[in-house]
Chains A and B, each alone.
Chain A
Amino acid sequence: MDRLVIDHVSKHFGKTAALQSVSLQIGHGLFGLLGPNGAGKTTFMRVLATLLAPDSGSIRYNDIQWGKQSERVRDILGYLPQNFNVFKNISGYECLDYIGVLKGLRDKKQRRAQIETLLERVNLTAEAHKKTGHYSGGMKRRLGIAQALLGNPEIIIVDEPTAGLDPEERIRFRNVLREVATGRIIVLSTHIVEDIEATCSSVAVIKKGIATQFDSLSKLAQEAAGHVWLWKVRPEQAIDLQSKVNVISSTTTEDHVELRVLAKESPSREAIPVSPTLEEGYLIWNQR
């Protein structure tokens, strides 16, 4: 199977190590890169998008080598950065037409047919002839994913795609990503665990430029196995406990509050161990 192989990639900015020997193997489908702000996600995405050259290490996909064959890499790549705010004076349709030309889609008829299909796919047909400068944040992201999909690339890189979107737009965007993931690699970077949970089948976590890959989401969740406790307390007790134990979430019912607590040992005799969520696994990994 076609795999994107990242082998000991490092990148420094002056004395700061943005990426430290990152090694990942990414197969078809949606792959999530999860990490806090400043962890090195955007640097990694830029390296994948051939915008930054790594100091050391290699990246390859089938017989294509990053660095040595940047032009070929760009031919098989679609990239949606955090901000897609370009070509503000032309319509969404014209923007895709312009990008289609830059991507080398020569046949005008085929290019236009592809643009129309993509606009429909990302639900922008009705707004296709509006200037992109008048688009909302969500519409710009959807236009961004449409441009990334132009030319049917084998690898798509999406950096923090749902940041700043309202819940409805976020769900719509995730649905689009899931739909287009078949038969290609999509690398999605985010600090929002929910995005990964809703879309990805495998994940890597990155912190201070060091990445760890997990074959499945449940494996990352299992990082917190034995560390998550469900504790039912009275409402007044819950307020007091917030500052004493590591409360991940709380659910209020009529007469009590259910706290999910992250702790190596049981915080109380009433607390019972529960199976961890992805977010809890990520938090435990992140605290190490």
Chain B
Amino acid sequence: MESKVKMPSLRLDIRNMGGLFYLPFIMMMIAAAYVTIHYSGYSDNQNMLKYIRHDFGVLSIPLVIVWIIGLFQDFVETKGKEAILALPYSSTYSGIMRVLRMSLLYVVIFFILYVFLVIRLLPGHQLILLSDICLPILSVLYFAALSFLFMMIVKNSIVCYIIIGVYSIFLYMTRGAFTFGLYPFQWSFPQPNFDELRCTVILLIASVIGLYISQKIFQNKEFLLK
């Protein structure tokens, strides 16, 4: 046997997701198009940023779960998963690194569209590191970690979508009440009582813990087999 390849190719990961890959992408494009059309010529510059973030981000940020769940369907959900689990792959590179790679791609697409919207609708706006970059990145990462974790635990994509969907709706409806700052919609639908920095740090810690636990479960092939 030759020396190990560290990670399966991104192209095959994307192709293997089938139509699921395009769903978040299409939703982001629709949201961006809606914002562009709806707010063109809008004069309320003071609130423009708030509107862009809400209308573009509320759906776009959590939809990363579609990609992450799609990444692991064959490893934990399908009938033939045994064949994959018996392969000599690197758990780190097939697990957490694939989640990070996919999240990074998601963030890049997200930011291209966001920056386009800001330039188009708010030409003079300067991007702020914490609120324009760190907070949305960590919100995406949090949802990625959450979907990785639930996929490892429940091993069923539909159940994962339902759990995370209900959780997201609850967070949105309550605007982060009872979450003690663990609020991934702070960028798109902010809770005025939350401090952005605190929220960012909490999301970072929660994401790291989520990814760590998910990775530990991913290494336990006996558990994944059940």
A residues within 8 Å of B by Cβ?
A: 46, 49-53, 71, 74-77, 79-81, 83-90, 94, 97-99, 101-107, 110, 144, 147-148, 151
B residues within 8 Å of A by Cβ?
A: 1-5, 7-9, 12, 15-18, 74, 78-89, 94, 221-222, 225
**Measured CA separation A87–B221 after assembly (Å):** 19
Determine the residue in chain A with the shortest Cβ distance to B221. A51
Partner of A106, one of B5, B12, B15: B5
The answer to whether B12 and A77 have CB atoms under 8 Å apart is no
Residues of chain A lying within 8 A (CB to CB) of residue B3 = 104, 106
Residues of chain A lying within 8 A (CB to CB) of residue B12 = 90, 94, 97-98, 101
**Measured CA separation A94–B17 after assembly (Å):** 13
Measured between C-beta atoms, what is the minimum distance from A19 to chain B in Å?
15
Measured between C-beta atoms, what is the minimum distance from B198 to chain A in Å?
41
Residues of chain B lying within 8 A (CB to CB) of residue A101 = 5, 7-9, 12
Knowing A90-B15, A94-B12, A101-B5 are in contact, say whether A75-B88 is a contact too (CB < 8 A): yes
**Measured CA separation A84–B84 after assembly (Å):** 9
The answer to whether A74 and B15 have CB atoms under 8 Å apart is no
Knowing A51-B221, A98-B16 are in contact, say whether A107-B2 is a contact too (CB < 8 A): yes
Measured between C-beta atoms, what is the minimum distance from B2 to chain A in Å?
5
Measured between C-beta atoms, what is the minimum distance from A107 to chain B in Å?
6
Residues of chain A lying within 8 A (CB to CB) of residue B15 = 89-90, 94
The answer to whether B86 and A77 have CB atoms under 8 Å apart is yes
Knowing A71-B88, A104-B4 are in contact, say whether A83-B16 is a contact too (CB < 8 A): no
Measured between C-beta atoms, what is the minimum distance from A96 to chain B in Å?
11
**Measured CA separation A98–B83 after assembly (Å):** 13
Partner of B2, one of A52, A90, A102, A104: A104
Determine the residue in chain B with the shortest Cβ distance to A42. B82
Chain A CB within 10 A, most for which of B15, B81, B83, B84: B83
Determine the residue in chain B with the shortest Cβ distance to A73. B88
The answer to whether A50 and B221 have CB atoms under 8 Å apart is yes
**Measured CA separation A75–B86 after assembly (Å):** 10
Residues of chain B lying within 8 A (CB to CB) of residue A53 = 222
